[in-house]
Amino acid sequence: MIVYKDIGERPNLKDHTIKDQLIKKLGKLRKPQLIIKEFPTGQLTTRGLQAYLSNLETFYNFVPDLLLLDHADNMYLDPERIRIDIGRTFKDLRGIAVDRYMAMVTV
């Protein structure tokens, strides 16, 4: 038997108050620094990600210890060599995480 339950509206990254909502849900943990950044699909390269992280460190003194990347295969991939580029992208992302001593999660 399938039971359906109305969960109502769910928060999403487009909400203007999402940062506050996430901090509130984290409860009594120390107040985390949280940055949510959206890049156009297919535009972000690993070099672009490196530059963005360096910018955060240089100008904002923000060094993340965790990076959640919603879909690495939505990054820039050359359509003529997509299989090679996917493998290279995942290796480069691992390299970024190791180089910056941070955890990285993607699908």
pLDDT at position 55 over 90: yes
Share of the chain above pLDDT 70, in %: 95
Give the 3-state secondary structure of residue 59.
helix
What's the average model confidence in pLDDT over 70-76? 90
pTM of the model: 0.71
Enter the DSSP assignment of 15: S
**What does the pLDDT look like over 25-51, one tens digit per residue?**
777 666 567 888 999 999 999 999 999
**Distant-in-sequence, close-in-space partners of 10: CB < 8 Å, separation ≥ 6:** none
More confident residue, 76 or 10: 76
- For residues 3-8, give the mean pLDDT: 79
